[in-house]
Amino acid sequence: MVDAFATADEFAQRMNRVFTGDELTWIGLLLEDASTYLREDVLGMQVWPQSQALFTAWPDGGRVDMPQQPVVSIDSVQRDGVDVEYRRRDSTIYVYDDDPVDVTFTFGYVVAPDSLKRWTYVLVSQVLLTLEQQLGLTAGGLSSVQLDDFKAAWADAGDNSGITLSDRNIALIREQFGAKSTHVVSTV
């Protein structure tokens, strides 16, 4: 199960609705989908829940940038099981040569960031109406629905349909969380 940034109960409060039984499960799954989209497709990293990771780095001029944000602590820097001397500045460490090092570090937030909760609500609310009408994962650009001889029309050819954000919003989120092009794919 994926850790959703928000709960079904929190979403229900924002929507001023009551979801029961199977609906709560369904909303929970949609919140998980939206959170996965934000983590994997928008940020390219896990910012919550807080985790520890081990990775092997090849220093560049002694410099190693941590692949996840925010960095809470550098737990160890080793080469062949032996501690290596390093110094840290923000989310970068510096070692005294360019031989590979194994870095164990703790990263992420203890509590899901409010801004990611809000984006999760936005993404789920985008698709909720069309899902309740059994139109599938479509939302952005839907301009009309005809019932007899079913027809759905999109103003933007469906470019923004489903659980997705605009390029501008994606850039803003990436900037806020310092997203890089690499991410940790497993944790210890």
pLDDT in tens, 18-69: 999 999 999 999 999 999 999 999 998 889 999 999 999 999 999 999 998 8
**Phi and psi (nearest 5°) for 173?**
-65, -45
Give the residue-averaged pLDDT of 116-140.
Answer: 77
Give this prediction's pTM: 0.73
Given a cut of 80, whether residue 179 has pLDDT beyond it is no
Burial class of residue 138 in the structure, from the number of CB atoms within 10 Å of its CB (0-12 exposed, 13-18 middle, 19+ buried): buried
What per-residue confidence (pLDDT) applies to 145? 60
Strand 101-107 to 71-79 pairing:
antiparallel
* Cα 67 to Cα 44: distance, rounded to the nearest angstrom: 10
Which neighbouring-strand residues pair with 71? 107
What per-residue confidence (pLDDT) applies to 8? 95
Give me the DSSP letters along 77-89.
EEETTEE---EEE
